[in-house]
């Protein structure tokens, strides 16, 4: 028989594919198949990209494929093309893009045989939720960890449970006998076999819940999306509360009615937004789609659960996939529509590894498949707004709130300098007018939201006597005071220490916190608004899995009078009882060195303002500021995104900034700052000697704002060009030189950086 060879991509920084002999007795090879191969002295999982009858590698150096993953059907040609584009555009190896995009279970050959095995899972019952925390002895830490994982996730797969406790099966069975959990077995292999013939609807549209009456603008938006043919990018610009989610739902319902086997991908920026989206989608498609036809994909899922959801999408069984940025790389063979909610959100840009933009890849994927893509936001990114202005995107506008009685909230600017000059008292940074407004809402049974984008108790702990400030020994940054934990914590590297009793430099015992974080405001509100039930939602209060969903449920249930939070509460949430939003400490972003700071601040303020008055209650936003005449605040008071965006674009055009130029950022990390800067200087010299150097501009290498993190010093070199093609060609030619340079711990090249 004719020998067969395959070219395999491995999770490796080099861009090369590796040749292997393919065993004749194995199933016929196809691009997109997962294989286990020897690589050096270890075994590695790779992805076949090419199949050939010959290889240029000498026969005595060729090694053979060890195993093929029969549980996972080959990835499609379109998916491989997506990976190829991302690798080329973001200047990474094929394997560096392809393999991390797959669930961990697919990258672990020991789990391949179990991928299609019947799924055994245990779901906690109300009785167990009450009994489990008290029933387990404190010394049984491993068993308590198993119980906590079950309580956090509500259900637990037996495979994931065994990873937490070697005797998990016996413990879960004993809890089942006690009436604390229930057992369920799902034959995933049978479900996949049924799906391979094409997923079918169960039930009919008549069984779905009654639909709300659409506004004229919503109707026009839905019709435009459904009437589109081929690649059609839409920018859905709707004010907060205008019913963008309803447009998504109607468009998807129309798509599934027209194309019964179609799949759709819906992206949201953060994990804590997925529960409310999933609930809305399951309610709308109840009786129309099977329960397992709607799945979620995000990093908060257990590995087994993520693998099952990914495979459901890959085999076509899942019809609607809802996820965060990593879901944009999911395999969906019949993908017919993409939706990116809150498309402006920086969370769509990956900041480690492959530094991709999920929004941009979603648009490219829609173009590749010739399908519509909907980008929704009340405050679109300036890049998307510019594309709409140039006619590349079709703009759909929702200018009014969906609830007839709901109007946009009024915005009041509280001049802190004027308050001080008039001798009006404030309490821990809370102005008198804001406190009075919260008390009025409390009396009326309404809710208030205080937005402060700074977690912890205070950002600085200092000594007035000698000027000492608590800093991180591993980073060039101050540590944040966390009073409930009685700890100082670095938010960059995680270093922690106990709060000192006195100044370590001079011995002064009157060390004091400076500034305010959410913990301090939560504490202050207990005194400022007596009787109010105060809840804090930030990264510290939602560390445990499932805790964010539980806290938001308390807010929706009316069990909270005042919600204090960071950006986690600023977007996407539909708080029906919130009629007042107070904004603290927004001025800091007015003086940032980052040219995108104004855009981010305005979007943040517009988004958090939109949490007020959504259900017909009169909404009010109170912004505390020392600069009430700043243009950003005046645009906010008018809810004038269009005017703000156009003025920002004019400034960007004059300053030759994105979206009018294209940028890439080379970062270097070394044991010393001098080493990092020397590496970048050598890289800049190599760039200047390239044939395309005249078409790009390289700025001087500079240290990062936080120059040292974890005892590693960091610097950056910005490269830009007015031509995307010229920048890409230059980066492609520059990479081999960069790989040959030495002297730093590591470096990375980011295309289209957001943080400079």
**Would you tell me how many other CB atoms lie within 10 Å of the CB of residue 715?**
25
Structure-token match 């989206």, residue found: 277
SS3 342: coil
Contact predicate 511/518, CB 8 Å: no
End-to-end CA distance of the chain: 57
User: 3-state SS of the chain: helix, strand, coil percent to 5?
Assistant: 40, 25, 40
Contact predicate 498/481, CB 8 Å: no
**Roughly what angle, to the nearest 10 degrees, separates helices 432-444 and 518-528?**
70
Contact predicate 14/46, CB 8 Å: no
Contacts of 663 by beta carbon, 8 Å cutoff, 6+ apart: 718, 719, 720, 727, 752, 753, 756
Is residue 466 a known part of a binding site? yes
* Residue (of 448, 452, 451) closest to 577 by Cα position: 448
Is residue 4 a known part of a binding site? no
* Residue (of 54, 58, 44, 52) closest to 11 by Cα position: 44
SS3 265: strand
Contacts of 597 by beta carbon, 8 Å cutoff, 6+ apart: 589, 590
Contact predicate 154/230, CB 8 Å: no
**Would you tell me how many other CB atoms lie within 10 Å of the CB of residue 38?**
13
Is residue 503 a known part of a binding site? yes
Contact predicate 511/500, CB 8 Å: yes
* C-alpha distances in Å from residue 296, one per residue of 175, 209, 502: 28, 22, 50
- Distance in angstroms (rounded) separating the CA atoms of residues 556 and 676: 50
Contact predicate 250/208, CB 8 Å: no
SS3 413: strand
- Distance in angstroms (rounded) separating the CA atoms of residues 255 and 259: 6
Binding annotation = 463, 466, 472, 475, 490, 493, 503, 506
Binding annotation for Zn(2+) = 463, 466, 472, 475, 490, 493, 503, 506
């Amino acid at each position: 028989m004719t020998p067969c060879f395959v070219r395999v991509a491995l999770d490796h920084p080099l861009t090369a594919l590796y040749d292997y002999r393919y065993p004749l007795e194995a199933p016929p090879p196809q691009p997109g198949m997962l294989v286990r191969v020897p690589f050096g002295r270890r075994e590695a999982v790779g992805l076949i990209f090419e199949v050939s009858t010959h290889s240029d590698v000498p026969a005595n150096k060729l090694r053979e494929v060890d195993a093929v993953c029969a549980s996972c059907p080959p990835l499609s040609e379109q998916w491989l093309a997506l990976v190829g584009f991302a690798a080329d555009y973001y200047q990474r190896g094929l394997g560096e893009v392809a393999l991390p995009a797959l669930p961990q279970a697919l990258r672990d050959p020991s789990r391949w045989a179990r991928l299609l095995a019947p799924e055994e899972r245990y779901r906690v019952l109300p009785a167990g939720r009450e009994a489990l925390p008290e029933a387990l002895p404190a010394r049984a830490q491993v068993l308590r960890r198993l119980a906590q994982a079950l309580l956090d996730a509500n259900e637990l797969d037996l495979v994931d449970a065994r990873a937490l406790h070697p005797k998990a099966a016996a413990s879960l069975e004993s809890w089942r006998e006690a009436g604390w959990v229930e057992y369920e077995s799902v034959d995933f292999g049978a479900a996949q076999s049924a799906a391979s013939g094409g997923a079918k609807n169960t039930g009919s549209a008549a069984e779905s819940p009654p639909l709300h009456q659409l506004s004229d603008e919503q109707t026009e938006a839905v019709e435009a999306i459904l009437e589109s043919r081929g690649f059609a990018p839409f920018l859905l610009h709707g004010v907060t509360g205008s019913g963008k989610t309803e447009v998504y739902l109607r468009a998807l319902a129309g798509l599934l009615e027209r194309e019964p086997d179609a799949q759709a991908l819906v992206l949201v920026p953060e994990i804590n937004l997925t529960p409310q989206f999933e609930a809305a989608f399951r309610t709308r498609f109840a009786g129309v789609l099977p329960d397992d036809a709607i799945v979620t994909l995000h990093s908060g899922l257990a590995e087994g659960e993520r693998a099952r959801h990914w495979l459901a999408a890959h085999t076509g069984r899942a019809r609607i996939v809802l996820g965060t940025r990593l879901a944009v790389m999911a395999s969906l063979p019949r993908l017919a529509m993409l939706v990116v909610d809150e498309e402006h959100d920086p969370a769509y840009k990956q900041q480690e590894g492959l530094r991709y933009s999920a929004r941009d890849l979603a648009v490219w994927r829609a173009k590749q498949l010739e399908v519509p893509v909907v980008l929704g936001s009340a405050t679109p990114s300036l890049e998307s707004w510019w594309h709409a202005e140039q006619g590349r995107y079709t703009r759909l506008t929702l200018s009014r709130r969906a609830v007839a009685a709901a109007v946009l909230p009024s915005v009041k600017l509280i001049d802190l300098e004027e308050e001080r000059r008039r001798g009006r008292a404030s309490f821990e940074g809370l102005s008198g007018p804001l406190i009075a407004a919260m008390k009025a809402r409390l009396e009326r049974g309404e809710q208030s939201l205080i937005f402060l984008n700074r977690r912890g108790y205070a950002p600085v702990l200092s000594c007035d006597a000698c000027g000492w400030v608590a800093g991180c020994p591993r980073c060039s940054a101050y540590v944040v005071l966390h009073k409930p934990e009685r700890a100082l914590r670095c938010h960059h590297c995680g270093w922690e220490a106990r709060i000192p009793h006195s100044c370590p430099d001079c011995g002064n015992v009157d060390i004091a916190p400076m500034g305010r974080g959410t913990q301090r405001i939560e504490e202050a509100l207990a005194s400022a608004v007596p009787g109010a039930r105060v809840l804090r939602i930030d990264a510290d209060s939602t560390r445990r899995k499932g805790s964010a969903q539980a806290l938001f449920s308390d807010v929706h249930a009316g069990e909270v009078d005042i919600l204090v939070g960071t950006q986690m509460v600023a977007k996407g949430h539909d708080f029906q009882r919130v009629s007042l939003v107070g904004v603290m400490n927004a001025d800091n972003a007015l003086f940032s060195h980052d040219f995108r700071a104004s855009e981010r601040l305005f979007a943040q303020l517009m988004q958090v303002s939109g949490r007020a008055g959504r259900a017909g209650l009169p909404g009010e936003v109170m912004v505390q500021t020392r600069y009430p005449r700043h243009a950003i605040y005046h645009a906010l008071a008018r809810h004038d995104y269009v005017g703000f965006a156009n003025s920002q674009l004019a400034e960007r055009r004059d300053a030759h900034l994105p979206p009018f130029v294209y940028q890439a950022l080379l970062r270097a990390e070394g044991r010393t700052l001098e080493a990092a800067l020397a590496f970048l200087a050598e890289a800049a010299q190599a760039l200047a000697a390239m044939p395309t150097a005249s078409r790009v501009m390289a700025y001087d290498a500079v240290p990062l704002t936080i120059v040292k993190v974890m005892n590693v010093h960091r610097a950056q070199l910005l490269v830009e060009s007015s031509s995307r093609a010229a920048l890409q060609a230059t980066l492609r030619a520059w990479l081999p030189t960069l790989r040959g340079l030495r002297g730093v711990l590591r470096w990375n090249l980011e295309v289209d950086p957001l943080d400079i």
